[in-house]
A and B are shown apart, each in its own frame.
Chain A
Amino acid sequence: MNFFLHIIVMIATTVPNVLGFNLLFGRGKIFHFGPLGVSIVAAYGIFLVTIATDSFTLGIAAGLLVVSLASAFFAWLSLRLDADGFGVMSIAVHLGLLAVVLNWSSLTRGALGIPRIPRFVFLDSTLDFALFSTVVAAVWSYILWKIDKGPFGRKLIALSEHEWHAKSLGIDRPQVHLIAFLLAGIGALLSNVLYPQYLYLLHPSDYGFPGFVFFVTVVVAGGPGSVRGCLLSLILLSFLREGLRFIPMAPDILGPLRLILFGLILYIAVYCRRDLLFPKQRTV
């Protein structure tokens, strides 16, 4: 029972972040390879302030502020650079932020992470956590599904399919990008206000490249842009990822094996969905 509750928490706390990434990468075809960079900013922003002030309200407000700034920065970069250039730059920004967290030990405790992360008072047990995070995930999924099916989703598709045609209809690319990045940033905030609380630990290893590979795998395997597909794919891949823990193998073998397995799934998913994944380049 505890294992299933654990899986539910893992899935539900990942949903907001993955769906935000799906909006950008899957629906908008924006090569944003730094979603975990925004997650780092969100998690450390929230919990450094929460611990310092002993107030979740202030922590979440600080998190919202820094996430908005980070999202606006990524949006600005996406407008300044071409698609591939932005992809490379977003990786660089993610790794830069990770390097700051790992090396600014006096503030972040570096590679040791921050232990004794406080929890919301109403989240006593794993069951409470599972219920609360599922409600948050369900509400966020519904909101993003509505946005995706509405005028904003259509504008995002139009820009991803053909930027010039979309602009000639009056679609404002900077505005659409900014809103999309802010929505993804709010998703990162929701995920990262919950996940470290569940573990009682904020650890930089949760924000490394393997985590990003998992996000990409979920979005590509679920069908880029599809909210339902991403949710289904997240559930299946989370069961696979957590289920691998039961294989009797040494952790130093299991870790790389898991990466290889997810790499293989990603390879197959990209191969099968290559038509949906990349922007359609057309000349005018």
Chain B
Amino acid sequence: MLSLSHISLTIGEHRILSDVSCSVDKGEIVGLIGPNGSGKTTLFNVISGFLAPTHGTVHLRGLDITCSSSSRRAQMGIGRVFQNFGIFREMTLEENVLVALEALPKADRTQRGNLRKIAGETLEMVGLQSHAKQKAGSLSGGQMRLLEIARTLMSGKEVFLLDEPTAGVSPKLTQQVADLILQLKKQGKTILVVEHDLPFISHVCDRVIVMDVGRVALTGKPDEVKKSKELRELYFGADPTT
């Protein structure tokens, strides 16, 4: 579904990404973990078209999208939830969902029918329908996160890039986010998720990619990666048991 081939990115004299290659199959949930500064969000920026790689290519459904703009990639089916809150505070909750639906290609919009109805259903899905006409700026952090995820998920994308979706979210809402992600998996959607919460990653992901200093350090099933010596060394330095 999504494949990255030999992606490198150099900004000034700093090598941010080094020869990153990986792929995500349709319907797979892949966790992207690693210490701060390992290049996870930068890799998301490359996939979603906000940064152009110095070398390498990005393919979506076999199509080379390396030179496509970020909005074009979104229209081709890549959705993203950012690390910070991506809610438009000057708009109401309903408008926040509508704007995502209205940005879809015309054929998709026509196929979906009444967009306001879908916006209502989206808000209902995350229990915010009673706040539909309220400005989004008045929501709590957790509610903003839920609204953002629901908005992205309902916009009919095929591939989702979720950058720390549970950051600043209570344990109860974290479970709700996990349920939303698993619901998408059932619909055959492809998800790449950056997280520091390892139990969350183990719960929702089929596979984990560990990044360190801009390169892929390790890849495998969540349980295997969790037990690996390399992961402990990356997060805590030298393994104290050795």
- A-to-B contact residues, CB < 8 Å: 151, 154-155, 157-158, 161-162, 164-173, 280, 282-284
Contact = CB atoms under 8 A, between A and B. Distances in A.
A283 B84 contact: yes
B129 interface: no
Contact of B103 (A157, A170, A282, A284): A170
Interface residues of B, number: 31
B89 A161 contact: yes
Given A167-B49, A172-B72, 13 more contacts: A151-B98, A155-B99, A157-B90, A165-B86, A167-B50, A168-B48, A168-B80, A169-B74, A169-B100, A169-B152, A169-B155, A170-B75, A284-B83
B98 to A, nearest CB: 6
B21 interface: no
Interface of B: 41, 45, 48-50, 69-72, 74-75, 79-80, 82-84, 86, 88-91, 95, 98-100, 102-105, 152, 155
10 contacts: A158-B88, A169-B152, A169-B155, A170-B74, A170-B75, A170-B155, A172-B69, A172-B71, A172-B72, A283-B84
A166 B80 CA distance: 10
Contacts of B75: 170
A158 B90 CA distance: 9
Given A169-B100, A170-B103, A162 B86 contact: yes
Contacts of B100: 169-170
Contacts of A166: 88, 99, 103
Contacts of A170: 71, 74-75, 100, 103-105, 155
Contact of A151 (B48, B50, B88, B102): B102
B71 A162 contact: no
A284 B71 contact: no
B80 to A, nearest CB: 4
A172 to B, nearest CB: 5
Task: Kindly list the 9 A-B residue pairs having the minimum CB-CB distance in the complex, ordered from nearest.
Answer: A170-B74, A170-B103, A165-B86, A151-B102, A167-B70, A154-B99, A168-B80, A170-B75, A169-B103
A115 B23 CA distance: 70
B102 A168 contact: no
A171 B84 contact: no
Given A161-B89, A161-B90, A284-B84, A154 B102 contact: yes
A196 B70 CA distance: 44
B59 to A, nearest CB: 19
B102 to A, nearest CB: 4
B82 A164 contact: yes
Nearest to B76: A170
Contacts of A158: 88, 91, 99
Contacts of B48: 168
B84 A282 contact: yes
Contacts of A169: 74, 79, 99-100, 103, 152, 155
A172 B76 CA distance: 13
Contact of B88 (A164, A165, A283, A284): A165
Contact of B91 (A154, A164, A283, A284): A154
A155 B82 contact: no
Contacts of B83: 284
A154 B86 contact: no
B192 to A, nearest CB: 14
Nearest to B91: A157
B88 A171 contact: no
Contacts of A168: 48, 70-71, 74, 79-80, 82, 86
A246 B90 CA distance: 42
Nearest to A173: B71
Contacts of B103: 155, 166, 169-171
A261 B88 CA distance: 36
